[in-house]
A = this chain, B = another copy of it.
Amino acid sequence: MNKPTLHTVLSPRLLDLYNLENAIVVIIDVFRATSTIATALYNGAQFVYPVAGVQDCIEKGKALNAITAGERDGKVIEGLQYGNSPAEYPASFIKGKTLVLTTTNGTKLLHMALEQKAATVITGSFPNLSAVCNYLKAQNKNVILGCSGWKDLFNIEDTLFAGAVISRIKSQFTVHCDSSLMAENMYKLHQADRLQYIRQTTHWHRLQAYGLEKDLEYCVTEDGANIVPVYRPENEALHPETW
């Protein structure tokens, strides 16, 4: 039997070069959208609605009586209630609630994947690495690891997460993809010094200026929130699944 394929997409700009129609697309936005989504759902949020714009976020929040969240330049966006930090969503606050979230990169890529008719969309981040890997191994379908990057630019942190997934599941997939080869190399190279290495990245310099160091360390630590956020088109939201 042929193994399903696995590819890594390094920027939203490259997504349309891949066929998503029979594939599970994993949306990756390590700093911090997909880390926050996993954490909120793990801590008991019912659903997370990923929305593209601020106005969408406000309207959806009102309609659903939900928490609205989003940041630009390290500050909560005017008109929204909370930010994009996983630390804002402990169980004591988020359990049983719903969250409407808008972000610059991850949310955009998720909607692009839906437009390109992805068979299934889930989100991935270091806090839910093991759950994502268990899920992908169980499905036996083609996989696209989609790095959100930053304003369409390649970034290191999303690539490292793609590499972490590849290093754990590649034996079950056919991987003929230079991006995946590179991502796995980079993950293995920096597996031990990850916390130091991310301090060299562009995004670290950007977010560190806003005092978010603790957030960033949480976001590259494995398995703190092992749930799989699965997008259900019928209600346009991410639901938690245990794997």
A residues neighboring B (CB under 8 Å): 10-11, 13-14, 17, 151-156, 159, 176-179, 181-182, 185-186, 189, 200-203, 205
Closest 8 CB pairs of A and B: A156-B178, A13-B13, A154-B179, A155-B178, A178-B202, A10-B154, A178-B201, A154-B178
- Given the contacts A182-B159, A182-B186, A186-B185, A14 and B153 also touching, CB distance less than 8 Å: yes
Query: Are A14 and B11 in contact, CB atoms less than 8 angstroms apart?
Result: yes
| Complex Cα gap A185–B188 (Å) | 12
CA distance A155 to B181 in the complex (A): 10
Which B residues lie within 8 Å of A14 (CB)? 11, 13, 152-154
Q: Specify how many copies of this chain sit in the oligomer.
A: 2
Give the distance in Å from the alpha carbon of A17 to the alpha carbon of B155 in the complex.
Answer: 14
User: What chain B residues lie within 8 Å of A11 (beta carbons)?
Assistant: 10-11, 13-14
How many angstroms between the C-alpha atoms of A176 and B203 in the bound complex?
10
Most B CB contacts (10 A, CB to CB) among A17, A154, A189, A202 go to: A154
A171 to chain B, nearest CB (A): 16
Chain B: which residue is nearest A183 at the CB level?
Answer: B182
Among the listed B17, B152, B186, which residue makes an inter-chain contact with A186, where contact means beta carbons less than 8 Å apart?
Answer: B186
Chain B residue nearest to A11 in the complex (CB): B14
Contact of A202 among B156, B177, B203, B205 (CB under 8 A): B177
A63 to B54, CA, bound (A): 58
Contact sample, A vs B, 9 pairs, CB 8 Å cutoff:
A10-B10, A10-B154, A13-B13, A14-B152, A156-B178, A176-B202, A181-B200, A185-B186, A185-B189
Complex interface: chain B residues within 8 A of A181 (CB): 156, 200-201
Q: A14-B153, A176-B205, A181-B200 are in contact. List 19 more A-B contacts (CB 8 A).
A: A10-B10, A10-B11, A10-B154, A11-B11, A13-B13, A14-B152, A17-B151, A17-B152, A17-B153, A153-B178, A153-B179, A154-B179, A155-B178, A176-B202, A177-B202, A178-B203, A182-B182, A185-B186, A186-B186
Q: How far is the CA of A111 from the CA of B60 in the complex (A)?
A: 45
